[in-house]
């Protein structure tokens, strides 16, 4: 069965639902109408642009272009992780923590999947590499951002307790162990919930897209299972690395808490 092509009118009808939502936001005084319209337009522009870029990228199949595109995606994901935190580590260090965590969670797992599991040849085939990396970046980003945000918030709120434990002779790892464990659980919970609901409550996006594209349902399910496993593993690795790296920056070599390196955003 061929895919039914969507027209501009079809997309316009879908967009009208956002307009209705914006009107509802105004009526209920939610203050979200501008964000709904702005980010809806921004999302549309970004997806149209990436569609043009991917068409050129798929046609070329160049390793250099795939790496360039992947790097841009990674840097953008790192920025999004940092932007979602209420209290950020100031300077370049905070951004690098986000980028490095996303690299661990997505880049390394994507390369492993392409080379060892899927075994596509060449491994950088853009039709596989870019969508797979995009799904991993988009899904692991949420867990890492949640974990980092909770880490800085907990250390700020429980500063007195942590500093007392440090004064009693504990290392920073010991003084913050329960906080770090709680942050890791927070970061991993979304993907755990997604795995619990997949197939029973929801049909994940990749599987739905493949089925709409004519892929046999069983084959689509196999790919979705693979993706869910990769996202879960990547999120776990990324969260653990992000929490560890942030701990190294929030405590100095003499095991003193350094909350002065945090910048708080107004919410």
For the chain, the average pLDDT equals 87
- In tens, the pLDDT along 70-81 reads 999 999 999 999
- In tens, the pLDDT along 160-173 reads 999 999 999 899 99
- In tens, the pLDDT along 92-110 reads 888 999 999 999 999 899 9
H or E stretch at 262? strand 262-264
Instruction: With beta carbons less than 8 A apart as the criterion, state whether 233 and 108 touch.
Output: no
10 Å CB burial of residue 21 (0-12, 13-18, 19+) is middle
Alpha-carbon distance of 13 to 257, in angstroms, equals: 53
Residue 16's pLDDT band, with cuts at 50, 70 and 90, is very high
10 Å CB burial of residue 187 (0-12, 13-18, 19+) is buried
Which pLDDT score is estimated for 267?
42
- In tens, the pLDDT along 94-150 reads 899 999 999 999 989 999 999 999 888 888 898 889 989 988 998 899 999 999 999
How many angstroms from the chain centroid is the CA of residue 170? 34
Residue 245's pLDDT band, with cuts at 50, 70 and 90, is very high
Token digits of residue 37: 């319209």
Residue 86's pLDDT band, with cuts at 50, 70 and 90, is confident
Q: Examine the pLDDT at 89 and tell me if it is beyond 60.
A: yes
């Amino acid at each position: 069965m061929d895919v039914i092509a969507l027209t501009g009118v079809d997309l316009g009808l879908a967009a009208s639902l956002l307009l209705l939502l914006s009107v509802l936001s105004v009526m209920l005084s939610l203050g979200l109408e501008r964000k709904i319209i702005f980010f809806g337009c921004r999302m549309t522009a970004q997806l149209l642009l990436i569609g043009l870029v991917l068409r050129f990228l798929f046609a070329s199949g160049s390793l250099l272009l795939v790496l360039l595109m992947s790097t841009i995606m990674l840097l953008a994901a790192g920025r999004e992780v940092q932007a979602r935190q209420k209290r950020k580590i100031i300077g370049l260090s905070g951004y690098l923590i986000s980028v490095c965590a996303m690299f661990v969670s997505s880049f390394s797992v994507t390369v492993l999947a392409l080379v060892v599991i899927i075994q596509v040849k060449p491994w950088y085939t853009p039709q596989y590499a870019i969508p797979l990396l995009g799904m991993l970046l988009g899904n692991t980003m949420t867990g890492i951002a949640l974990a980092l945000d909770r880490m800085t918030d907990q250390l700020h709120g429980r500063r007195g307790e942590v500093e007392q434990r440090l004064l009693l002779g504990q290392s920073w790892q010991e003084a913050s162990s329960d906080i770090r464990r709680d942050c890791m659980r927070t970061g991993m919970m979304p993907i755990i919930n997604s795995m619990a609901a997949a197939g029973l409550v929801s049909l994940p996006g990749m599987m739905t897209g493949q089925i709409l594209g004519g892929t046999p349902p069983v084959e689509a399910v196999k790919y979705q299972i693979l993706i869910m496993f990769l996202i879960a593993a990547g999120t776990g690795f990324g969260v653990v690395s992000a929490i560890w790296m942030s701990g190294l920056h929030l405590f100095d070599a003499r095991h003193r808490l350094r909350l002065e390196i945090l910048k708080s955003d107004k919410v």
